[in-house]
């Protein structure tokens, strides 16, 4: 069997009992950085063969994983911290496993961006996770432009040297918004620092960050300023038939279609 195993993002005690049991029973463990994973395994006196699975050899590693599984071996896949695949190596592995018809499962656990979302105190009922942004400012700006009007809270992973650049580009694209920088999650020096995009994050940048940014404000639909009849008529003039115009107007105005129907009998 193949297991994708979430590992601690800082505090080694955040490993689950099931994860420890599975790692102890594994025949081989594929990991992002063998030196990093060895620290976790040594802390729990686990000695297993380790093989590399990182962004530069993921395809080859995936083929090895398929071979091991078909030989009846128990295989675990971990990243340096958190959940494999999520902003970490593993996506190519899942694709190869799916194509090969090889079953796998996931052992849940620590996740940085979900912890940061809670620590930010920004709305969390709906959110969009974007991970790391492109290195080039122009590509970063282009990607963010696609989310300019998204009302959900936006969540990003960010290296310390990129924090200022991220904030500057976000301000250029989004305008003024509240944001929270979260770092050292689950560690002694854990911080959750609110700031405005226009001001950026002050102070020295150290450690990996999760940036949480509030979503766009709700934009008033100008058609809602019209009477119900005028609203439906405008939608019909744009090309919708009356049925679709009634449905759309009702949704935009937050009323029932039957209520609008009574006011638009002559259309």
Mean pLDDT of the chain: 92
pLDDT for position 233: 80
Written as one string, the DSSP assignment of 65-124 is HHHHHHTT--EEEE-SSB-TTSSSTTHHHHHHHHHHT---EEE----HHHHHHHHH-S--
For residue 94, name the pLDDT band (cuts at 50, 70, 90): very high
Distance of CA 128 to the CA centre of its chain: 6
pLDDT(257) > 80: no
For residue 265, name the pLDDT band (cuts at 50, 70, 90): confident
What domains can be seen in the chain, in order of their start residue? 2-107 (3.40.1010.10), 112-213 (3.30.950.10), 222-263 (no CATH)
pLDDT for position 244: 85
pLDDT for position 219: 65
CA distance 156 to 170: 11
For residue 220, name the pLDDT band (cuts at 50, 70, 90): low
Q: What is the mean pLDDT of residues 137-147?
A: 92
pLDDT(259) > 80: no
Bridge-based pairing of strands 209-213 and 178-183 is: antiparallel
Percentage above 90 pLDDT, the chain: 78
Sheet holding 28-31, edge to edge: 50-52, 28-31, 75-78, 2-5, 105-107
What pTM did the predictor assign?
0.79
């Amino acid at each position: 069997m193949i297991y994708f195993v979430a590992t601690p993002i800082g505090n080694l005690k955040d490993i689950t009992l099931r994860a420890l049991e599975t790692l102890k029973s594994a025949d081989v463990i594929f990991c992002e950085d063998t030196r990093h994973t060895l620290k976790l395994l040594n802390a729990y006196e686990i000695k297993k063969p380790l093989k590399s699975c990182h962004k530069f050899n993921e395809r080859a590693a995936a083929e090895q994983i398929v071979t091991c599984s078909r030989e009846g071996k128990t295989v675990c896949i971990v990243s340096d911290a958190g959940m494999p695949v999520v902003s970490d190596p593993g996506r190519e592995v899942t694709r190869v496993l799916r194509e090969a018809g090889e079953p796998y499962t996931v052992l849940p656990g620590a996740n940085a961006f979900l912890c940061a979302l809670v620590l930010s105190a920004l709305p969390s009922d709906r959110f969009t996770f974007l991970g790391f942004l492109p290195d080039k400012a122009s590509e970063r700006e282009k990607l963010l432009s696609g989310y300019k009007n998204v009302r959900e809270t936006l969540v990003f992973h960010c290296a310390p040297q990129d924090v200022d650049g991220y904030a500057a580009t976000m301000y250029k694209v989004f305008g003024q918004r509240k944001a929270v920088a979260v770092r050292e999650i689950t560690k002694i020096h854990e911080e959750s620092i609110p700031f405005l995009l226009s001001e950026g994050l002050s102070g020295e940048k150290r450690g990996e960050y999760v940036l949480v940014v509030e979503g766009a404000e709700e934009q008033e639909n100008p058609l809602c300023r019209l009477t119900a009849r005028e609203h439906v008529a405008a939608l019909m003039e744009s090309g919708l038939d009356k049925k679709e115009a009634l449905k759309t107007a009702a949704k935009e105005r937050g009323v029932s279609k039957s209520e609008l129907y009574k006011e638009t009998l002559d259309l």
